[in-house]
Structure formats: structure tokens, C-alpha cells
Amino acid sequence: MADQSIPEARTPETPVEGSAAEGLSRRKLLSTAGATGLVLGAAGGAVGYAAAPSAATTPLTSVGADRVMFHGKHQPGITQGLQARGHLVAFDLAAGAGRKEAAALLRRWSDTARRLMAGESAAHDDTDVARDAGPSALTVTFGFGYSFFARTGLEKQRPVSLDPLPDFSSDHLDKARSNGDLWVQIGANDALVAFHALRAIQKDAGGAARVRWQMNGFNRSPGATSHPMTARNLMGQMDGTRNPKPTDTDFDKRIFVPASGSADPSWMAGGSYAVVRRIRMLLDDWEKLSVTAQEQVIGRRKVDGAPLSGGTETTEMDLEKTDAKGDLVVPINAHARITRPDQNGGAAMLRRPFSYHDGFDADGVPDAGLLFVCWQADPLRGFVTVQRKLDRGDALSKFIRHESSGLFAVPGGAAEGEYVGQRLLEG
């Protein structure tokens, strides 16, 4: 849970449309009053939502009108902001399925994603789950796992960056809920729209692939607060204050694979690497701490996310500041200190997580936490660098447990008339 935030994250490659005048096909809005055409949720590849240009919060009745484009330089679901509902699902190719079947599957999936993101019905056997709703900022993102390349005879095209992640001391990984041949991320600002997409993708898999694991998450709904602000995680902390911003001069270099000058194969140009971790929060232990103790663990004030060294949420943290006793105001093992890019050789990740709650165990302990999703051009320089540092002394480590993990190569976006992964599967 790195200490990182992003303002509105729309890019020219992933434009957003959405007024009623542009048409939402069969899934019309019940009401589009006040529609702005922005993707609500853009306080970060990690943390909140973007406001309309006016001072007033966009009415919830317009949420359904928000549309993200499927085609573009990058896949959708990376630079857009947080979405209210999410599903993460991994598939394994069926026995006997290979490159040909995988190509046909990605073609079907891409067509379905394009249609649903435009507010249209699925091409075949639509369930009508999302009838009457607009696109609701739906995004569908596809990636390939390490094992996919051997299954399809494409080992020579497997990126070195996709080598398995190292082990970490906080890992208690369930192999059945980790990795996979294929990975799909679905996000939307309406739960039924998100489920509709999940069901359509699963049905499209047909006999070519079977579900390996699936996880459900949520974030704050657009319009739930009086003004745009960084979202909170289930520990009550503002989560994502220092995410990389698209306006940063080195944003693309950190997040996306370049078209040239990279060790990655050419089919990954414009793509990114997603690290996916199911991180359980030991909430009963965390909630026994006083607010002051919680702030010492994180290194930021709980009420407003400001660093303990003073200022506001966006104030640069003063790592050298001491109190009257000469002790560091921001503890040496505080989570926010350890995860700062300037403390990790510039390593940075674009975070787009979801919270989750999967009920309670027999003792009433909540199975809840964070579906951590981070994006970077190089996972070794991004996630691995930061996680190794956290592994050596993060104060937060005793209150969390990594229970599943995956690393996926997410190719660039599909051009008009193409499907995601076509450069790999037909190259």
C-alpha cells in the first residue's frame, strides 16, 4: 500500500465520452441530467474521483453516462481513476487449447469489451443485467501470465520482465488464487454494469479457458463526498497520496513500455506490467491501536492525510524533522517514509486498488483488505524494489498479510479493427 496519488488521469489515448446526445444505444440512461462526460474516479490511478469543472459535485444520476474508449494507445483501466466496483479474474487455457484458440478468445473478449464499454449489449446471449444503465465508466483490461507463453508455444516472445516475483517475508500465498494464463480486470461505477461485463467475459471463454480465481472489490462511489478527495482504505487511512501523475515528465517512462529502446519484445510497446496482490488487513489488531499509534505506523495524520512533519496532504514530507526530544517526527519505519520514490532510487508504481470484504471467519474475524493493483514499465524497478524495502522494516507489515499474487504482461491498446494481443498472437 505505497504512499502514492494521481489527479484526473484521462489521457488523449483514452478519451472519455458520455453525454446523452452522443447516444448510449439500448442501455439508455434513466436520467442524464447534469452529465459532464468526465470519468468520475480520477483522483488517481489509485484513490478517489475527479470533479466536474464546476464547484458542485456531479449528480449521481449522471454517473451512468461516463464512457471510456476501448481503442487507444494504452488499454483502458490503467490511467483512469478509481472505479466504485471491480472484478479481477484469472483464467487458465483449457487442455488442448493453444495459440489459435487463445487468439480467437482475445478477439471475442475484445469485441465484447468494446461493445459493453460503449453502453451496448453483448453480441450474443446478452443477460440484460445492465439494461437501462449507461456505460458507467466501464473498463475491461486484459493481460498475459508467465504460463501463457508455454501453453501457446510463444516462449520466445515472453518478456524477461515477466519472470516470477521473488518471495517476501509477508507472503502467505495461496497458489490456487495466484497467477494464471490470462488476467482480466473489470471496473465500473455501477455494480450491475461491472457484473454484466464479468458474466459476459466468463461466457465468452467457452471451452477455451476456465476460471482459475476471481475476486471482487469496491471503492467509494462517485459523488459520495462533498468535494473530490483521496479515498480511504479499510484501515481508515487516506491511501494513494503520492501516486505518479500523468503530468509528470517521466510518467510514461515509469508506467508504459516504450516503442523502442526497451529490452521488452515489440508487442509490449505501449503496454505495462500489472502486479496483483490480495492483501488481507488484520483489522482487529489494527483497530486496537490508538489513532496516534496508527499515525506513527503510517507517518501521516489520519484525519486529513497530512505528513506528521506538518502541512497539508500534498505537503512534501520533511524526513529530517525532529521533536523536542530529538526523535524523528516521521518514524524511521513509517510506511509513508519507506515507500517514497526518493527513498527507493526513484522507483514508482501507479496504483489502482480496490478494497474487498469476503465475510467473517468462525471467530468473527473479518476477511477484508486490499486488492492491490499497481502498474509499471518494469516490475523489478517498480514493485519489487519497493516491496523489498518494505520487507526489511515496514511498521505496517505486522498488520497485513499478502495472501495471493500475480504478475501479468498487459499489452498496449488495440487500434480500430484490432483485438488486444493481436501483435503477439499473430506476429
Catalytic site positions: 239
Distance CA 304, CA 407 (A): 33
- CA distances to 2, 135, 215, 241 from 5, rounded to whole Å, are 10, 25, 24, 4
Question: Cα(241)–Cα(43) distance, rounded to whole angstroms?
Answer: 9
CA-to-CA distance for 118 and 252, rounded, in angstroms?
26
Output the DSSP codes for 114-165: HHHHTTPPPSSS---TTTT---TT-EEEEEE-TTHHHHTT-GGG--GGGSPP
> Which residues does 400 contact at the CB level (< 8 Å), separation at least 6?
1, 170, 279, 280, 281, 282, 369
Q: What is the DSSP string of 4-23?
A: ---S----TTS-EE--GGG-
How many angstroms separate the CA atoms of 376 and 15, rounded? Answer: 21
Yes or no: say if 177 and 48 are a contact pair by the CB < 8 Å rule.
no
β-bridge pairing 139-144 and 209-218: unpaired
How would you classify residue 162: left for phi > 0, otherwise alpha for psi between -120 and 50, otherwise beta?
alpha
C-alpha cell at position 201: 467475459
Rounded CA separation 88/102 (Å): 19
**Taking the mean position of all CA atoms in its chain, how far away is CA 363?**
31
Torsion of CA 4, 8, 11, 17, to 10 degrees: 140
If you search the block for the grid coordinates 479499510, which residue do you land on? 234
